[in-house]
Amino acid sequence: MKFARQPPRNRTRSASHIFSWPIYTVVLLIVMWALAAFAQDTENNNQPGGDIAVQQLSFARNDPQALSIARRMYGRDYTYVKAVRVWLEAPNDDPEQMFLKIGKSRNCETECFNVALFHNEKWLEIYRRPAVDALGLSAVTPTGMRSIIEDGRVWTWNGQAYAPQPNQEGMVEREADEEELALVSKELGANIDETTATSFGPPEVVVYEVDILTGGEKIIVVHSPYFCGQSTCPVFLINDLGQSYRMIQALEGVIGISKALRDENGFRGIETLSRGGVTVTSPSTGAPMETIPIQPVAVAGTVK
């Protein structure tokens, strides 16, 4: 089976006819275009992996009332407690959301965590992770909650809990070229009937040029209802010689690369989205290295 590269759509249009329109019409069109571009940018910003921090969090100044509430819940077990009020949802008349920095030593040197609290009849702990300096919030997403940006990693609200997204910092997506499409066709061709596959339309094949071991490697992801169904999509790891050496699966084809974790052979871990969170897989062995789970929701102050 061969995948045909889809020709890009011709987006060039002549603008000569515009100058014959009344000036107010042209102005109106410009305003509408700007609003549409802003809306599209906002939509992209609210997707997993596309979120950017629009608010950086700092604990340099405590909110006195928030600090008092936080100390009542955490002061007995944690010596270090800082608290600031935040909006995790769109601003309203009930600003009962906070971010804390707590630790078991005076300067938060040991067992130091960032914690997010949300009040819903009682205070709930909805996020707890080892403390980082680079902590921020995105714009409000379609789920009604802001994403949390933790040292580059995005945590999105899935309607019930905060779920991690694979680290895609620095990764740039592009369309596969003819040679890469042929490679994927070869890898999948033995198991795929071409007629059945084309009934779903041509698959979308995207490429990430990455540094996994020595640089010059690639990750190729195939998106298609035929290959993915409603679950995982095939992901091919390509070495610097252009050879496919491993196929793994990623939920919805969402992948990333670990910033610091490497396997026993020096390969950077490949992060894949899974139903339980993010799974970090060894490129050289295919074995799971780590799981970053979805954040459990607990009554504030009960997690020790």
Q: Look at 40-44, 97-101, 233-237, 283-287 and tell me which has the smallest mean pLDDT.
A: 40-44
pTM flag (> 0.85): no
Return the SS3 of 268. strand
286-297 residue pLDDT tens: 999 999 999 999
192-241 residue pLDDT tens: 446 355 667 778 899 999 999 999 999 999 998 888 888 899 999 999 99
- Output the pLDDT for position 229: 82
Type of residue found at 216: G
Q: For 103-120, b where at least 16 C-beta lie within 10 A, e where not — what string?
A: beeeebeebbbbbbbbee
The burial of 233, by beta-carbon neighbours within 10 Å (0-12 exposed, 13-18 middle, 19 or more buried), is given as: buried
136-167 residue pLDDT tens: 999 999 999 999 999 989 999 999 999 999 99
DSSP state of 267: P
Residue 228's nearest CA partner among 255, 246, 268 is 255
